[in-house]
A and B are shown apart, each in its own frame.
Chain A
């Protein structure tokens, strides 16, 4: 992960491909990698989310992709605009790491280091056991989320 200033848009997929539906972000990143417009960098982020602040500094926009906790509708895709609003409080409690996604975004906001446009796509997961594959409904959502993100990147490119 380096050289973020050469790219105008950062797409960062957060998750562990070896933890079931936590791997939905990396799965979407794999689909996006060969299809994103010039100037868009696709990055996988396994653990150290603070590094994202260094990565998106200099980028005009960033799109984050992550799995969200089970809430009865696996595969549901939500897009949240983080440019001016915070992640919901319940989401902030989900990481056992010292700095999760919500903390990283709010730290960057306090430092004035958020990209002008920042959105997160959340795909609701169902199972997160070690070594299992994506659950069927989450696997189905991969294509749909990929297309939605490509459409957003096209709209950004069109200004």
Chain B
């Protein structure tokens, strides 16, 4: 039969964000796949070179919409490394709270999001509620729901009080009490079992070859997590596990995210009980309009919900960064992975592949 070329996205319910894949299909089987980025391109890396060190904080969260805080963190970490700027202990704990809450929000959206390509529409609606509850916390801490602009070089912008700490605890207790429901409606669902098990397989070699990290790599049996391998902030003081699996398919990857949510809740509980008192921000010299960062270069990286995420920053000692390179966590699977991994997949499984591999389009396109 003759091959047909299809445009998957950007207007497709199984597509996350303004991103599309050009598929060449033979019947229902994908023969060739070509990622087609560009619709979300805003030239972040170039824009950053023309903004003050402080002003960039308002720009970079947009590199990843669902999980903006990792951008602020890696940017701040790299700047702190170059400038040798100490971060107060309390600020480190606060950063962990923010990062883990964001991880829960993204994973819940991903777990619920599988309802889109599989037709189990109850789950996405529930999951958005969980995410919104976390956004309520963000609003309380940072003043905004989506783009927080909270983590800055030298610490965080504002301290939080006991009332907010209590609110966080209540919210995560609440979310945890409903995790069982997701277990039942998604992970025990015969439909999900049928649709996801064995779908979109990924081998260890492929993952290592492409440079996939995060739940994708861990689902193939490689225990790699930046939080454990290269501990940052206070992760070395916290007790948590890295769930891994041996055989990677869509189901395993999704289930790993579910297990990671539980670990994140565990982390947040420890942070809430251990958080020390003290200041939350060390500032750079002078007014923010004049901030300069020493000459030097540094790479700041964290474990995002999709894997290793980092910024490589080069400073020539001026008021603006000289060059910033973003390592998007889903860059490997979003560009190379699609071309190398999608062929052979059935057309209806393309969305499942993209969803469970965690392709975040603004991060690929940036």
Instruction: Say whether A associates with B.
Output: no
Chain A residues in contact with chain B, CB under 8 A? none
